[in-house]
Structure 1
Amino acid sequence: MDGRRLQDFWNQEVLALLAVYKQFETLLPSSFAEGAGHRGEDGRYVEALLRNYLQKYLPKDLEVLTGFILRPAVKTGKNTRNRKNQIDKHSTQLDIIVCDTGTYPVFQRMGETVIVPPEAVIAVFSVKKKLRDADIAAECKALAAVGQICRSDEGKPQERRRGPFLGLVGASSQFADKRVAKEKKIFQKLAKLYADPPTFDDMVGFIGDLSGWYVFKARPPEKLTSNNSAASYRYFSLTENELHHGFQFLISGILSVYYDETRRNMKRPGYTSFPRLPAKELGTIPFNGLR
């Protein structure tokens, strides 16, 4: 297999993304700490920058927005009443929502802020300018809640649509305690969070710093057995020539949901290319069914 052109292309794009953010820090420096002078705008700028870069490479039916997911307890489909004993629910405000607005309607839109139904949600990302230890548990818990709000109503698991791709993304990172490797800390926090096994789709698929590393969840076979009903988490440390890995993983995760057979009958194109790199196995966490 080749794919070197794609690897070089994506690497240049990630370097360009990080360079644009660096220019923001250069133009609006902080007098007291690393980064830009306006911390709130600093974080929002990273969100907007990542949204713009993702939007460039996705099918036109998909929009990369921010806002909320509303799951109303009403009939779906022709006359499906699976939600009759439920109540209306909504998510917290989400940094990035990748929505299939070409297929599904939107409840409300004001600029890039929307309120959308769960059926439209393809991916959700929590974005941090600087990813820290304290972010992991809280943000992954919020993402698990998103997975539950977006869960399909079909009674039979094999008939449920695939849930959205969930990720926690930073433009940089800072882990205070150097005595324990950051990837080990992350896995320990995830294992504690998922002590009561969730569905596979509710577990975060990506945690990473686009400027150097990421932890990801490997997808198991569709046909589960007692031997493969645990999610395997792995870690990659990246050199400057390998930074395309993290951004490509985000693109690949979005497209894998968009083109999944439970959502549409279309063949996924060859669009990303991952060279073989040594992954560090962090461990496995049991789950209770794919969806």
Structure 2
Amino acid sequence: MDGQRLQVFWNQEVKSLLAVYKQFETLLPNPHTAGAEHRGEDGRYVETLVRSYLQKYLPKDLEVLTGFILRPAVKLGENDRSRSKEQDLHTTQLDIIIYDSGTYPVFQRMVDTVIVPPEGVVAVLSVKKTLRDAEIIAECNALLEGSKACRCDENNLESRRRGPFLALVATASDLADKQEPKEKRLFDKLEAVYGSDSVFDDMIGFIGDLSAWHVFKTRPPLRLTPTNSFARYMYVELDDDELHQGFQFLLSGILSVYYDKTRGGVKRPGYTAFAAKPAKEIGRIAFSSLR
């Protein structure tokens, strides 16, 4: 099987990403523990680093941003009032939002920090410098709420657009209990977040330490039956020449949503809201044709 050039290429890129972070640690070392001295800046640096590497390889219309998703309860498209009985809602701050800004507008932007409507969200990622046991359930729940906020056609199950790709990515990991296999602990936490009534797209697609291992979710067949309606989570440990797999999985997950046929039809987002205020007609002028 070929593709060796790409595997080597992506492996070099992942090693480059990890090496750039090591330079940060070298220049600003913590005198007492591993990592850089300024823990908050340490995490932000890794987040910025992952964002910059993703932006290099995604289509021009996709921006790698940070911020919030705002789902306003307003009219959609031509005259879709399906959200009229809802309330405006917004997510917590999300580390990475992959957004189709070539097609959809933004509510507010301050450099790379944005507030965006849900229609253009292609992926949501949480980023950690070091992934720890205690963080996994909270991060999965934050991604779950982000995915739910992005359901733009709640009332039409048959034609509902595919939801955003969800991932929790780190450049290192420290999972506490060494007596139990890592993969079992990870899956136990996923079972604690998701139940049998979950929506497949709301379930996280990737959890991984780019330097060592990852867990990914496989898509089920298009024709669902009682025997295949479940999310299969797979675990992989990586050798030094296999580090390309995690980063490639992130790119594949993002692009698979971006190019999914259910997202092909552009739908005007909920972007404006008019108050119910009476208007007075001031006159009429005839025209010959509509278009």
The AA in structure 2 aligned to 1:229 is S
In structure 2, what is the equivalent of residue 4 of structure 1? 4
Query: Hey, what does 1:104 align to over in structure 2?
Result: 104
The separation in 2 between residues aligned to 1:180 and 1:19, in whole angstroms, is 30
Structure 1 partner of 2:174: 174
Paired position in structure 2 for 1:26: 26
Q: In 2, distance between residues paired with 1:188 and 1:176?
A: 14
Distance in 2, matches of 1:195 and 1:56, equals 36
Give the superposition deviation at 1:264: 2.1
AA of the residue aligned to 1:227: T
CA displacement at 1:155 relative to structure 2:
2.4
Q: Which amino acid aligns with 2:23?
A: Q
- Contact residue 83 and residue 153 of structure 1 kept, 8 A: no
**SS of residue in 2 equivalent to 1:157:** coil
How far 1:223 moved relative to its partner? Answer: 1.9
Distance in 1 (CA, whole Å) between partners of 2:33 and 2:142 is: 28
Match of 1:62 in 2: 62
Q: How does 1:257-272 map to 2 (within 5 A)?
A: 257-264=257-264
Separation in 2, partners of 1:246, 1:109: 30
**Paired residue type of 2:152:** S
Distance in 2 between the 1:138 and 1:230 partners? Answer: 22
Point out the more displaced range, 236-245 or 189-198: 189-198
| SS of equivalent to 1:158 | coil
Cα displacement string for residues 43-63 of structure 1 (whole angstroms, at most 9, x for unaligned residues): 000000000000000000000
Match of 1:139 in 2: 139
Matches of 1:131 and 1:150 in 2, distance apart?
26
Unaligned 5+ runs, structure 2: 266-291
**Partner residue of 1:242?**
242
Matched, 1:195 2:190: no
Q: What does 1:122-137 align with in structure 2 at a 5 Å threshold?
A: 122-137=122-137
1:254 aligned partner? 254
Cα distance, 1:196 vs structure 2:
4.9
Amino acid aligned to 1:95: D
Distance 2:180 2:53 in 1: 33
Amino acid at match of 2:179: R
Point out the structure with max Rg over C-alpha. 2
Partner of 1:281 in structure 2? none
The amino acid across from 1:89 in the alignment is: L
Cα drift, residue 88 of structure 1: 0.2
Partner of 1:222: 222
Name the CA distance, whole Å, in 2 between partners of 1:223 and 1:123: 24
Q: Which residue does 1:81 correspond to in 2?
A: 81
SS of equivalent to 1:56 = helix
* CA deviation after TM superposition for structure 1 residue 152, in Å: 2.6
Q: Distance in 2 between matches of 1:145 and 1:206?
A: 16
Render the CA deviation track for 1:247-291: whole Å, top value 9, x for unaligned: 0000000000000001128xxxxxxxxxxxxxxxxxxxxxxxxxx
Shift of 1:160: 0.7
Q: How far is the alpha carbon of 1:221 from its aligned partner? A: 1.4
Q: Please provide the CA RMSD for this pair.
A: 1.0
Query: In the alignment, residue 43 of structure 2 is paired with which amino acid?
Result: G
Corresponding residue pairs, total: 265
Q: Runs of 4+ in structure 1 displaced over 6 angstroms?
A: none
Q: Secondary structure at the match of 2:233?
A: strand
Question: How far apart in 1 are the matches of 2:63 and 2:48?
Answer: 13
Q: Which amino acid aligns with 1:246?
A: G
